[in-house]
Each structure stands twice: as C-alpha cells, then as structure tokens.
Structure 1
Amino acid sequence: MTLLAPRLAYFAGVARTEHVTRAAQEMGIPQSTLSRALVRLERDLGVDLFARRGRTVSLTPAGRTFLGSVERALGEVERAAESVRADADPATGKVAFGFLHTMGSETVPGLLRAFRADHPRVRFSLVQNYGEAMLERLRAGELDLCLTSPVPDAPDLVARRLDEQRLRLVVPDDHRLATRKRVRLAEAADEAFVTLEPGYGLRRITDDLCQEAGFKPRVAFEGEEAETLRGLVAAGLGVALLPPPAVRRPGVVELTVTGQRAVREIGVAWLGGHPDTPPVAAFKSFLLSRKGRLLQQGLSSQPGPGGVSSLSGD
C-alpha cells in the first residue's frame, strides 16, 4: 500500500486521457516523472497495465480491472476529504458534543439556541451519556467537547469548571421528613437510597457525601436516569440525592441538605493537545464565557425548533 497509493492518481489520469503527455499537463507534473511512476507501478504489481504506442496508451485487460478499483478508492478518499473540510468550515462545520442526561431537557437546548443565534448554520452531533462514558468517547476522538460531572482531572484531558448544582435530598411526600425544608444527610442514614449505577459521577458524589455524613447508603435500586429515580422515590422505594428537576414532579419533596457542601460541579472537557476546528473553537469559547451561569442559561431559554442536526442518546 505504501508503494502503490501515491501512484494511483497518476494511473487513473493516464487511463482517462490515454495520453502520457496530456495527463502530465493536466496534473501539473513533468512527463518524465509520470512515465517513471507508471513503470514502477507496473513493476511493483508484476503486470502490464498499459499497451503503449508512443505517447498514446490504452489499458490492458489487467489495467481495466485495476482501474475500477482505483477509481472507487480515489472517490472514497475525495469524499472523505470533502467531509472533513465541511466539518471544519467556520460557518457550517460540525461540533461533536456530549452532555449528561440531567442536562438534556433544559440546559443543553438553551445553550444550543443561544449559540446558534450567532452561528445559525453550525451543525451538532450530540451524545447524551454519563460522565465516564463521555470521557472515553473524548479519548477515542468521537467527541470534541463534553459537559460532565465531576470535573475530570486527568493528564490527557483539559477541563474547566463552569457551574455547580446544589443537590437535594428527595423524599416521598408522605415521608417522615417531608414537612421539613432542610435536613442533615446523617438524618437519612437508616433510609433506603435509590441511586445511579456505579460509574456515574452523581453516584460517586452520593457515596462520598454519605461517607462524609458518617454512613454507607443502603442501596435499594440503581438506575441510569435521574428522573427515573425521582419516580421511584415518589413510589416509596427510597430517598435520593439529586440535582433540581427541570419540571417539578408531584409525589416528592426536595429538601435542602445542610451541614456539608452537597453540590455537583459541572465542567467542560476536551482532549489535550488536539487543535480545534473553527466551529469547535467557537463553541468552546461560548461555553467558557458562560462560567457561573451555565445552568441559568439553560433554564432561561426554551428549546427552539430545529437547532440540532443529529442526536444520539446512550
């Protein structure tokens, strides 16, 4: 492949014109360079691709078979080049952006709406997932940026803290604590907890806060969605530590946790040492400019029609 690839376009050009001199002129290379490249190509393949009559050439049966595959290969390379050029276009390029499930209903639609007011044709490929999964997709080159929690601290990543959410102890509306406005987390030490699965950032924060309060939570259920956990709390399966909901849910009471710093920090992360395309750089700058008001941006904006080119949820 290393030997053949640079010569494929030369071969296709001569096959198209059936004339070495004319092909060399069209490709802007010396005729001698082209002639030598064709001879080496045939020598490396071990077959004659052309029947020669002076400067005029015609394809042999082997050459005609080879040409079909070469044209497909060159076409695929050209399509790939067009795709990456389009994705990097400052006005119409693409941003691959990941975010937490809990930010999908209000915060992210509001952010996209605000950004696209000044960049209306930038396209987004969106991935909704939990933090560790998104960091792996960053490392695999599948994402340009992601909103995640906790803010990662890894040598291969760059991360910036943007905002924080106060976590609340969510209890059923007929719970013994439901008449309270504030509660110490230690008062829930004997309760069953419904939590996110291990590997989720909010699960790690829940475990750490409970440990800080002097107990290990007794887990009754592990899920993947915060709103599912709220529904299970309403059904009486346990209590939960959760960020504020986008829309108030009946059947539960949300209590302020006192006595310790019960928050989750939200940050933006990207892979270090990788240059940004213009649309990615613009969106990164936009996110960083929202430091301290990222969540307010989402809550103050209503999702508009359109605004996203593609969406995949995990």
Structure 2
Amino acid sequence: MHLHVDEEITFRRLEILLVFMETGNLARAAEKLEISAVSVHRALHALESGMRCALFRHEGRNLHPTEAAQALAEVARDVLRTMSKGIRATREIAGYSADRIRIGSLYSLTSRTVPRLIMGMKLRKPELHTELVLGSNAHLLQKLRDGALDAALMAIPEDAPDVESEPLFQDDIHFAAPVGSPYAAQKEIDLGACAGEPFVSLSEGFVTYSGFVDTFRIAGFTPKVVMKTDDIFSLMNLVSGGVGFTLLPGRVRGVMPHNVQLIPLQPRYLMRQTIALNFLRTRERDPNLLALLAVCRLAKAELS
C-alpha cells in the first residue's frame, strides 16, 4: 500500500500548528517558536494548502481554528510524539547519545590508559554504562566501521578518511629480552646483529606487529619467528620463559613479568606509535563521544 502525504505538510509545520493552537495567537506563537508572526501565518496557510481544506476562519486579523484544525492537531500531536520516540530509538541502536558507550582498546592499554579514561567518564557522566571490547588495531577498526563500537583506543589507522582521531601519547618500540640475557648489559640494541636469534611476535593486525615488521625491514633481514600470539601479555610471558626475544612498546613496562627488560633500540631502528581515541567522523557530534573527548584531553598530560 502506497502512503502519500502532500509535501506541504511537514513536521515543522505541524509543530507550528500545535503551538498556535496552544497559544491561540499568531504573535504569542511566534514568540514561543522564536520566529516571526508572518512565518507562523505562512506555515498555517501551507498546511491548509496541503490538506485541501479550510483549517481557520478569518475574523479581521485573527485566525480561529475550525473543527478540522482541531482534528489535525490531535493527529499531529501523536505523529510528532511517535516520531520523536522513533528518532531516539534509532539513535540508541546506532549508539548515538545512548545510556551506554562501547569502547574498544588494545590489550596493552588496559593497565593504565583505559582505567584512567573510564574513571574520568564516571565522574563526567555517572549515569553512562561503559562496555569494553579488546582486540587488535584491525579488529577494532572493523568493529568501529560496523557500528559495534562507539570509539577505539588504538594507533591512528592509516588511509582512513572516515575516522577522526584525538592523539593521546606517543610510544617508542623497545627490544624485549629476559633479564640476564646476552643483551641485558647493552644500552642500545643493534637489531642488525640479532639475525640468528629466535623471536616471538603478535599476530598480524596488531599495531605492534606492524612496528615489528617495519623495524626488521630497516634491519635488513626477516626474523626467525618461532611463535605468534594474539595478546601482548602472553607475548611477554613467552619472552619471560625464554622462548624468544621480541619488540614491545614502552607502555607495557609497568605490567611486564619481573624477569623481562626493555632495552632501547639504536636510533636508526626507532619506531614510534601514536595512540589515539578514534571514532567515525559521522559520530563527531554524539554527546557521549564529546564527553569522552573532553576526558581524553584532560588526561593527555598524565598519559604522556
């Protein structure tokens, strides 16, 4: 069944009709709507044109609603109320200004960055429920684009014009080795001299894996990777157990096993990650995201 409503009948004009019916006067309706009395009169006249019937009686400069206007106003009130509920429900499904916010994060940010931001959000919007999803950069970016996340704490994605990023801090990549290894006493690691060593790494899709690959490309050799894992804490445990060496961001220093140390790489191998709050540009006016952005900006100095 095809439903058709004349283009002269709009939500805004129905809203003007209701205000006019409540105030009973063009000037008072105009004042309440913050528009001119002429604009109110034109809107009411357009409704009459769209309805193909008279809605008002003219008595001098005054308009008096007919029974037809009363009937339309009753329907308009229901229509506007239903549409308002529909807009709110649609926004909540899309995560826009809902009573929850879904934040994605890299595993390595859960020890310091995530708690700091969540506590900041609780202070700013205590009624807001926060859900946390962990994953790789690639996994979080896909969930962001699918609408399954509202924001993601991760490295700034490359070639992503649909994503807005608020940088939080920069992090250098270090050489990770067990305490007491042949490299323990070195102030800087020449990665080119490690060609024969076993390495462990994260799986593809993690930003630390990308840094791992890029750094060894500069060193001029492909490392012998004996094992891969999908979370950074397991990776540190593999280093602790002597399975192999790896490259890790400095932000994990506070949660590493006691027998793992981070050693700076020589300057020519320096790789730096920029960690940011990322969200879709289409969501930049979402009140919940604006609150999270404010928390991030306040936390920048502490996180750096």
Sort the TM-score into its range (normalised by shorter chain).
0.5 to 0.7
Tell me the distance in 2 between the aligned counterparts of 1:3 and 1:158. 40
1:184 counterpart residue number: 190
Q: Could you tell me the TM-score, scaled by structure 1's length?
A: 0.64
SS of the residue corresponding to residue 148 of structure 1 reads: strand
The 1:218/1:86 distance shift into structure 2, 3 A limit, reads: closer
Tell me if structure 1 keeps the 8 A contact 2:192–2:219: yes
Q: Deviations over 1:252-299 (max 9, x none)?
A: 2221112232322212221123353212211123224444x3635xxx
Tell me the distance in 2 between the aligned counterparts of 1:224 and 1:27. 60
Number of matched pairs: 230
Structure 2 stretches lacking a partner, 5+ long: 5-66, 77-81
Matches within 5 A, 1:1-314: 28-29=74-75, 81=89, 84=92, 93-244=99-250, 245=252, 246-260=254-268, 261-291=270-300, 293=301, 295-296=303-304
Q: Percent identity?
A: 25
Tell me if structure 2 keeps the 8 A contact 1:162–1:266: yes
Tell me the distance in 2 between the aligned counterparts of 1:86 and 1:160. 21
Tell me the distance in 2 between the aligned counterparts of 1:189 and 1:112. 42
Kindly state the Cα deviation for residue 155 of structure 1 after the two structures are TM-superposed. Answer: 2.2
Q: Which has the higher helix share?
A: 2
SS of the residue corresponding to residue 282 of structure 1 reads: helix
Tell me if structure 2 keeps the 8 A contact 1:138–1:145: yes
Q: Could you tell me the TM-score, scaled by structure 2's length?
A: 0.66
SS of the residue corresponding to residue 154 of structure 1 reads: coil
Kindly state the Cα deviation for residue 84 of structure 1 after the two structures are TM-superposed. Answer: 2.3
Measured on the aligned residues, the alpha-carbon RMSD in Å equals 3.1
SS of the residue corresponding to residue 171 of structure 2 reads: strand
Tell me if structure 2 keeps the 8 A contact 1:151–1:265: no
Tell me the distance in 2 between the aligned counterparts of 1:152 and 1:108. 22
1:63 counterpart residue number: none
Structure 1 counterpart of 2:261, which letter? V
The 1:286/1:153 distance shift into structure 2, 3 A limit, reads: farther
